A and B are shown apart, each in its own frame.
Chain A
Amino acid sequence: MMKKIILPFIVLALATASPLVFAAEAEQHAMPTPADLEAAAELPPEGAEADKAHAPDHHAAAPHGHNEWHFSGMFGSYDRAALQRGLKVYREVCAACHSLKRVYYRNLEDLGYDEGQVKNIASQYNVTDGPNDEGEMFDRAALPSDHFVSPYPNDNAAKSVNNGALPPDLSLIIKARHHGPDHVFGVLTGFAPPPEGVTPGPGQHWNNQMQSLISMAPPLSDGQVAYEDDVPQTVDQYSRDVVEFLAWASDPYMEERKRTGIKVIIFLAVFAGLMYAVKRRIWAKLH
C-alpha cells in the first residue's frame, strides 16, 4: 500500500528535481552573460584567443565560490545594517557609473530609515521636472516618489565616457546572473593582474570571476568608504554589503515572500494531512 502511494510522488520529485540538475549542470558551463560580453566588447581578437588559452577552469579560478549570505535559505532575511552600509557604498562608489533606476527613494524605508531620513537622502539629488505652466523644464530636488537618479542621461552618454562599454543598471543585477550574489561579490573582489599574453586595451582590467578583461576598473579599495559602525572597512566587507543591498534592490519582497511561504506551506501540509485522514476513513468502508 505504502509503495503504491509513494511511487508517483517519487516520479514527481524526480521530475521536479531534474530541471534543477540541468540548471546546475548548465552552470558548470557558465559563459559570460550578454552584459558581461558587452562590458568586454572592446577585447581585441588576439586578446580573446590568448584569454582562452590562459584561462584556467572557471570554477577553480573564481576566487569566491559559494558564500553564506544573511538572506539565503528558507528563513533568511536582509541584514538591515548591511543594507544601510551597502547603500552607502552604492551611493559613494557604484552610483558614479551604474544606475539603479527601478528603485524608488521611498523604497529605502525597507532599509530601516524613517520618512524624514528618506526625504533627506532623496533631496541630495536633482531631477528634471516639467514642463511648468510657462512650458519650461526645471530642476528640483528629488522626492521619495522619484526613482534613483541615474548617473548618465542615456546609454550613449554612458558609453561615450566608458570606452564604449555600458555600465549595466544594477536594479536586477543579482537576479540576472547565475548565482547572482556570489557572482557579483566575485567580480568586485576578483580583480588581478592579467595572465601572461593578455594585453588590456584602454580602460580594461582583468577579472578572475569573469575570466576576461572587463571595462570596469577595480572600484573599491580598503578604507575608501567611511562606515559609521565598527565593521572593518575593507574591500571584502564593502563588497559583501553592497551585494546585500543589491540583492534587496533585485528582490525587495523576499522577506514577505518567505514569511508568506512558511504560512502557506504549513496550511497546505496540515490541510493535506486532514484530507488524508478523511480519505482513509472514506475508503475504509470499502475494505
Chain B
Amino acid sequence: MGSGPRTPFENPVVEWVDSRLPIFTMMQKEYGVFPTPRNFNYFWNFGAIAMIMLVLMIVTGIVLAMHYTPHTAMAFNSVERIMRDVNGGWLIRYLHMNGASFFFIAVYIHIFRGMYYGSYKKPRELLWILGVLIFLLMMATAFMGYVLPWGQMSYWGATVITNLFSAIPVVGESIVTLLWGGFSIDNPTLNRFFALHYLLPFVIFAVVFLHIWALHVVGSNNPLGIDTKGPQDTVPFHPYYTIKDTFGTLVYLVIFCFFVFFMPDALGHPDNYTPANPMVTPPHIVPEWYFLPFYAMLRAITFNIGIPFTEIVIISAKLGGVLVMFGSIALLFVLPWLDRHPIRSARFRPQYRIALLVWLAVFAFLGYVGSQPADAVKFGIPLSYLGLLGTIYYYGFFLAILPYLNKHEKGRDLPPSIHESVLKGSA
C-alpha cells in the first residue's frame, strides 16, 4: 500500500507527512489518477452512493445511541423521547430509519449492476464475494436494528427470525438460547442486539475497505465487460468520476430526502408505533420490505421432505424453508463459478440478459408474495404456490439456466476496445 517509489510533494507539510506515511501518495494513486474505464454509465454511481449511505447510517446511529436506552421497559419510550424531546431528534431518527431502506436500495442496484455486466467474473471473484459478505452483514445489522425500538413488529419479527435457527438439527435450540440470552426474547436479547447493532457497521466498514482494496487491485469492470487495453480506454478517477459520483449521489439524496421529510413512515410498519406486547400477536407479521423476497422463499416450503410412502421426515418444512432462504444467498457467493461464460456483459449475451431480467422480475414478485399474509389467494391460486414457483425460478436461474448458457450461448461479437466503442457512440 503506497510503499513503492514516491514523487515528492511541493507543500513541505504534506511532504513531511507523506515521507513518513505516504497517505497522500496513496490517495493520489487510488482516487486521483486511478485509471478508470471511460465508459461507465450511471449504474456505476451506486457503489459511491452505498458508501455515503453507510457513513450516514453510522453518523446518525452514533447520535441515536447517545439517547437510546436498550431496556425492554424503556426502549420504546426512549425512541419516542428522541422523536419528541431531543433537539432535531426526529430528523436524526427519520434519516436513520429511511437511511436503512435507501442503503439497501443502493446496494440492491449495485448488486444487480454486478450481475448484469458480469462484474463477478474473473479476476473479480473475491471482490464479488466480499460484496456478498457486506450484504449478509447488512441484513444481520438491519434485522437487529429493527428490533431496537421495541415496537410490536420489532418484537414479533425478532421472534419469527430467531426461531428459524431452532430448525437446525441438533444445535438449533442451543443457538436460539444463545441468541436470546435466555429462554424467551427479553431484556438480554435486546441488550445483545444493541451491542451487535453498534458493532456490525464497523465490521461492514472494514469489509468495505477490503472490497475497495480488491477493486483497486483488479480495476473496475465496465458496461462492455471487456478489459481496458491502455490509457486510451481510461480516464483518471478525479475529476471525471468524482464529479459524476457527486451528481449521482445528489440525485439519490433528493429522492431519499423526499421520503425523510414528506413520507417518513411510508417504508415502515404502523404496528411498530405500538409498544411490544408479548401477550398480543399481530395477525400478519412482516419483516422490513428489503427482506420480503427472502421471507417469501422461507415461506414457500410448506411441505416436509421425507422418504416417499413412509412417515420418515428428513427435512421438515421449517428446516426446508430456512435452508432455501439461506441457500438463496449462498448461491450469490458461488455465482462466479456457476456462470463461467467467457463474455461478461449482458449486452453481448442476449439469452443471459432475458434470463436475468426475468430473474429480477421474479425477485420483485417474491417481494410482493412476502408482503402478503401466508394464506393469501390471488387469481384463485394460493400465493404460497406462486412463491414456490418463484423460488424454483430463483434457484433454476443459478443452477440450471447459467450452466446451460455456459455451454450453449454463443453471444454477440465483442467490440475490439472501449475507446473505439466510445468514439462510435455505442458505449
Contact = CB atoms under 8 A, between A and B. Distances in A.
A29 B376 contact: yes
A265 B258 contact: yes
Contact of B247 (A37, A252, A276): A276
Interface in A15-65: 15-16, 18-23, 25-26, 29, 31-35, 37-38
A269 interface: yes
Chain B contact residues, majority secondary structure: helix
Contacts of B152: 34
A34 B266 CA distance: 20
B368 interface: yes
Contacts of A20: 266-267
B84 A4 contact: no
Contacts of B368: 18, 21-22, 25
Contacts of B289: 18-19, 22-23
A261 B257 contact: yes
A282 B273 CA distance: 48
Interface in B242-301: 243-244, 246-247, 250-255, 257-262, 264-267, 270-271, 273-274, 277, 280-284, 286, 289, 292
B42 interface: yes
B371 A22 contact: yes
Given A176-B274, A257-B91, A264-B261, A8 B41 contact: yes
B264 A31 contact: no
A261 B260 contact: yes
B271 A33 contact: yes
Q: Among the interface residues B38, B108, B271, which one has the most CB atoms of the partner chain A within 10 A? A: B271
A102 B252 CA distance: 35
Interface residues of B, number: 61
A23 B283 contact: no
A12 interface: yes
Interface string B110-122: 0010000000000
Given A4-B41, A19-B101, A275-B247, A268 B371 contact: no
B261 to A, nearest CB: 2
B340 to A, nearest CB: 27
A11 B94 CA distance: 24
A272 B251 contact: yes
Contacts, number: 155
B105 interface: yes
Contact of B266 (A23, A269, A283): A23
Chain A contact residues, majority secondary structure: helix
B369 to A, nearest CB: 10
Interface string A219-230: 000000000000
B303 interface: no
A182 B258 CA distance: 23
B64 to A, nearest CB: 16
Nearest to A73: B262
Given A175-B265, A258-B262, A282-B240, A8 B45 contact: yes
A16 B250 contact: no
Given A15-B108, A172-B80, A279-B247, A269 B254 contact: yes
A34 B247 contact: no
B420 to A, nearest CB: 14
Nearest to A175: B273
A34 B262 contact: no
A231 interface: no
A253 interface: yes
A180 interface: yes
B105 A272 contact: no
B283 A37 contact: yes
B21 interface: no
B253 A268 contact: yes
Given A29-B284, A260-B91, A12 B273 contact: no
A275 B266 contact: no
B235 interface: yes
A15 B283 CA distance: 27
B205 interface: no
Contacts of A257: 90-91, 94, 261, 264
A133 B239 CA distance: 70
A9 interface: yes
Q: Among the interface residues B262, B270, B273, which one has the most CB atoms of the partner chain A within 10 A? A: B270
A262 B257 CA distance: 9
Nearest to B267: A19
A275 B368 CA distance: 37
Contact of B283 (A32, A74, A262): A32
A178 interface: yes
B372 interface: yes
Interface in B64-123: 80, 83-84, 90-91, 94, 101, 105, 108-109, 112
A23 B372 CA distance: 9
Interface in A61-116: 74, 102, 107
Nearest to A11: B109
Nearest to B94: A257
Q: Among the interface residues B43, B94, B259, B283, which one has the most CB atoms of the partner chain A within 10 A? A: B283
4 closest residue pairs by CB, A with B: A261-B261, A272-B250, A19-B289, A176-B273
Given A16-B255, A26-B371, A31-B373, 9 more contacts: A5-B42, A7-B41, A13-B255, A19-B101, A19-B266, A175-B273, A176-B270, A260-B91, A265-B257
Interface of A: 4-5, 7-9, 11-13, 15-16, 18-23, 25-26, 29, 31-35, 37-38, 74, 102, 107, 168, 171-172, 175-178, 180, 250, 252-253, 257-258, 260-262, 264-265, 268-269, 271-272, 275-276, 278-279, 282-283, 286
Interface of B: 38, 41-43, 45-46, 80, 83-84, 90-91, 94, 101, 105, 108-109, 112, 152, 235, 239-240, 243-244, 246-247, 250-255, 257-262, 264-267, 270-271, 273-274, 277, 280-284, 286, 289, 292, 364, 367-368, 371-373, 376
30 contacts: A7-B43, A8-B42, A8-B45, A15-B109, A18-B289, A18-B367, A18-B368, A19-B101, A19-B367, A20-B267, A22-B292, A23-B371, A34-B152, A34-B271, A34-B280, A34-B282, A37-B280, A102-B80, A107-B84, A168-B274, A172-B80, A172-B274, A175-B273, A253-B84, A265-B257, A268-B250, A269-B254, A275-B243, A279-B246, A282-B239
